[in-house]
A and B are shown apart, each in its own frame.
Chain A
Amino acid sequence: MKNRFEIEFSALSQNEAFARLCISAFLLPLDPTVNEMSDIKTAVSEAVTNSIIHGYEGIGGTVHMSAETDENIVYIEIRDKGRGIEDIEAARKPLFTTKPDCERSGMGFTIMEAFMDKITVVSEKDKGTKVTMTKKLRG
């Protein structure tokens, strides 16, 4: 059975935990393993944090998050209307960061890629960024 939710929230750092809580509650009926749940929560946290820090550069905005489940496959979309990513290929490389002074590790996309089965990133300068992630729950 398909199931879906969509929310939007302010691009504030305290909402990173809120986003993790939402995806956890939504996926709980599918009975994912502790590791699967942890992987998905971490990937969501990375994408939402990117929108807050890089998309809106901490000045605020709205982050949209939606998720859909189809049997045991999870689709998650996180998007913002922020400044966008100029070079997506560079941004997805490990240790790439535009904020080296802020103790940012530049590992966000690497973790999303490692923890999910597939991620796609669509971004346009000054228009925003959309990250789509897929993971099959194997139980």
Chain B
Amino acid sequence: MNINYKKDGATLLVTLGGDIDHHTAQEISDGIARSFRHSHCKNIVIDFSGVNFMDSSGIGMLIGRYKETEIFGGALAAVSVSSELMKIFRISGLNKIIDCYDNARLALSALRGE
């Protein structure tokens, strides 16, 4: 699992690569939570363009990050969610609490209020 972080104003952009399952979810959760705390950001954008697979372990991981952004009055957004991943977003209701964008530029613009 590859995780890259980039700060853009009040938003932490997280780019994930690989599979999100029970084996990797904890590492991703811990990594994003730690970077988010240190970043002093209020929003998180997760770029899924490099994610090949996600099961329900990803749902718990995303709800955890959503709650953290909520504490700071921020938002969690998702980028490049494939049709396969979107099925899981819809079944779990994640799509109702996480805005999805085609690319990172659009997500970052929206969170800047542009």
Q: Give the interface residue-count category, chain A.
A: 20 to 34
Q: Which of A81-89, A99-107, A128-136 contacts B (4 or more CB under 8 A)?
A: A99-107
Whether A17 and B64, one on each chain, are in contact in the complex, defined by CB atoms closer than 8 angstroms, is no
| Interchain residue pairs A-B with the least CB separation, the first 5 | A103-B60, A13-B23, A105-B59, A38-B84, A105-B60
Q: Give the interface residue-count category, chain B.
A: 20 to 34
Tell me if A45 is interfacial: C-beta within 8 Å of chain B.
Answer: yes
Please name the residue on chain B nearest to A99 by beta carbon.
B60
Whether A45 and B21, one on each chain, are in contact in the complex, defined by CB atoms closer than 8 angstroms, is yes
Q: How far is the CB of B44 from chain A (nearest CB, A)?
A: 15
Please name the residue on chain A nearest to B85 by beta carbon.
A38
Q: How far is the CB of A121 from chain B (nearest CB, A)?
A: 16
Whether B55 and A111, one on each chain, are in contact in the complex, defined by CB atoms closer than 8 angstroms, is yes
B interface majority secondary structure: helix
Whether A111 and B91, one on each chain, are in contact in the complex, defined by CB atoms closer than 8 angstroms, is yes
Whether A16 and B22, one on each chain, are in contact in the complex, defined by CB atoms closer than 8 angstroms, is yes
CA distance A13 to B59 in the complex (A): 17
Q: How far is the CB of A54 from chain B (nearest CB, A)?
A: 11
Tell me if A120 is interfacial: C-beta within 8 Å of chain B.
Answer: no
Tell me if A73 is interfacial: C-beta within 8 Å of chain B.
Answer: no
* Pick from A13, A34, A105: contact of B92, CB under 8 Å: A105
Interface centre among A35, A38, A102 (most CB of B within 10 A): A38
CA distance A74 to B47 in the complex (A): 33
Q: How many A-B residue pairs have CB under 8 A?
A: 68
CA distance A112 to B87 in the complex (A): 12
Q: How far is the CB of A82 from chain B (nearest CB, A)?
A: 15
User: Which residues A24-56 have CB closer than 8 A to chain B?
Assistant: 34-35, 38-39, 41-42, 45-46, 49, 52-53
Whether A103 and B56, one on each chain, are in contact in the complex, defined by CB atoms closer than 8 angstroms, is no
Q: Given A35-B83, A42-B55, A108-B56, decide whether A103 and B23 contact each other with a Cβ distance below 8 A.
A: no
Tell me if B88 is interfacial: C-beta within 8 Å of chain A.
Answer: yes
Q: How far is the CB of B48 from chain A (nearest CB, A)?
A: 14
Tell me if B53 is interfacial: C-beta within 8 Å of chain A.
Answer: yes
Q: Given A103-B29, A103-B60, decide whether A42 and B22 contact each other with a Cβ distance below 8 A.
A: no
Whether A107 and B29, one on each chain, are in contact in the complex, defined by CB atoms closer than 8 angstroms, is no
